[in-house]
Each structure stands twice: as structure tokens, then as C-alpha cells.
Structure 1
């Protein structure tokens, strides 16, 4: 199995049971070894009292993208620590896209950088996720 096939199978297995991402209207747009891209359109129920996208939804988009990227090796991997910096607001009706890139991976630890952008390409948020691999696989893989 190629690394790309493994990433795709891992994503399929995770997506099948990811009720939170589906309920929020996220879509998994691309997956690869150590990378993922997800997006969603800011709707009325995503808006805060300032009529901009609530930061919690932007964080969730970035966090879900981080999860798919760090689980792309078919090893169950969880978040150890996350941080986010909000730069510009997400606007009503706008499609936000999060792209995750693996910055470092050693042993059971990984570092992933996720950039959330607006439709015009501006940076909405920068997210860094630290991962920890635990026991288990996302799908049964035979040698």
C-alpha cells in the first residue's frame, strides 16, 4: 500500500464516524501523508454577536484538519496541545479553508501547522497542533 493510499483509507475510516465535522458542515477536500485540507461555508448559525464567524468554529475547522493530517499514517493519533491566532474575521457566506502541513514528526510526537484562509486568500487564522500517537489503527492493515 502506498503512503497516499494509506492516508486515503485512514481518512475514509475516520470520516465514517466523525459526527462532529459532518454536523458542522465541514468537508474533507484533500488528504495526503501528513497533510489535509478541509473547508466550510460560514452560515448564519456560525456567527457571533459581531456578525462574524465565531472563533470556536474556526478553531474546530483547524482542529479537524489537524486530526486528519496527523492520522494519515494509519496510527491512532490524538491532540496533545493546540494553539490558534486569529488574524482576520470569517465573513457570513464565505467559504473558509484550512490546510494542514506536518512540520515535524519524531517517534510518537508530531507538530502540524494549519493555515485557515478566506475565499480571497487572506489569512484568517494560524493554528499549531502537537500530536501524540497512541495504540491502535484507523483501519485494519495487513502486511
Structure 2
């Protein structure tokens, strides 16, 4: 299996069990080794008291893309630390896209950057995640 085939197989397996992302209307748009792109549309239920998208939903979108990017090697990998910087508001009906890319992966640790942008290409948030590989594989042995 090529690295791209492995990445897609891992993503399909994870997606089949990812009810959190699915219930929020998040779509898995693209995956390859060390990278993933996911998107969602901001709904009324996602807006806060200021009439903009609640940061928790933006974080969740970025975190989901991070998860799919760091789990492309058939090793169960979880978040060890994450942070986000919100740069601009997202509004009702905005289509947000989170592009996750691996910056470094060594041993059991990884570093991933995720950029969240809207349909106009405006950057809404920057997310950085540190991953940790644990025991087990995503695909059955």
C-alpha cells in the first residue's frame, strides 16, 4: 500500500466512527500522508451572543483536521497539546475550511499547523497541535 493509499484507508476507518465531526456537519474533503482538509458551514446553532461563530466550533473544526492529518500512518495518535489564535470572526453561513499539515514528526511526537479560512480565503484562525502516538493501529492487522 502506498503512503497515500494508507492515509486514505486510515481516514475512511476513522471517519466511519467520528460521530462528533459528522454531527456538526464537518466534511472530510481531502487526506494524504501528514495532511488533511476538512470544512463546515457555520449554522445558527454555532453563533454566540455577538452573532459570530463561537470559537469552540472553529477549534473543533481545526482539531478534527489535525486528528485526521496525524493519523495517516496507521498508528493511533492523539492530541497532546493544542492552541489556537483567532484572527477574524466567522459569520453565519460562512463555509470554513481547515487545512492541516505536518510540520515535524519524530518518534512518538508530531507537530501540526492548521489554517482555518472562510470561503473568501480570509484566515479566521491558526491552530497548532502537538501529537503523541500511542499503542495500537487504526486498521485491523
**TM-score computed with the length of structure 2 as normaliser:** 0.99
**Alpha-carbon distance between aligned partners in 2 of 1:137 and 1:12, rounded to the nearest angstrom:** 14
Indicate whether 1:84 and 2:84 are aligned.
yes
Task: Quote the residue 1:2 is aligned against.
Answer: 2
**Alpha-carbon distance between aligned partners in 1 of 2:123 and 2:63, rounded to the nearest angstrom:** 16
Task: Quote the residue 2:51 is aligned against.
Answer: 51
Task: Quote the residue 1:32 is aligned against.
Answer: 32
**Alpha-carbon distance between aligned partners in 2 of 1:8 and 1:138, rounded to the nearest angstrom:** 12
- 1:59-78: CA deviation from partner (whole Å, max 9, x where unpaired): 00000000000001110000
Task: Quote the residue 2:62 is aligned against.
Answer: 62
**Alpha-carbon distance between aligned partners in 1 of 2:32 and 2:140, rounded to the nearest angstrom:** 19
**Alpha-carbon distance between aligned partners in 2 of 1:18 and 1:138, rounded to the nearest angstrom:** 13
Task: Quote the residue 2:97 is aligned against.
Answer: 97
**Alpha-carbon distance between aligned partners in 2 of 1:140 and 1:93, rounded to the nearest angstrom:** 39
CA drift at 1:58: 0.1
**Alpha-carbon distance between aligned partners in 1 of 2:79 and 2:73, rounded to the nearest angstrom:** 15
Q: Which structure 2 segments of 5+ residues have no match?
A: none
Equivalences for residues 124-135 of structure 1 within 5 A? 124-135=124-135
Task: Quote the residue 1:20 is aligned against.
Answer: 20
Cα RMSD for the two superposed structures: 0.5
The SS at the match of 1:17 is: coil
| Runs of 4+, deviation exceeding 4 Å | none
**TM-score computed with the length of structure 1 as normaliser:** 0.97
**Alpha-carbon distance between aligned partners in 2 of 1:106 and 1:43, rounded to the nearest angstrom:** 38
Task: Quote the residue 2:75 is aligned against.
Answer: 75
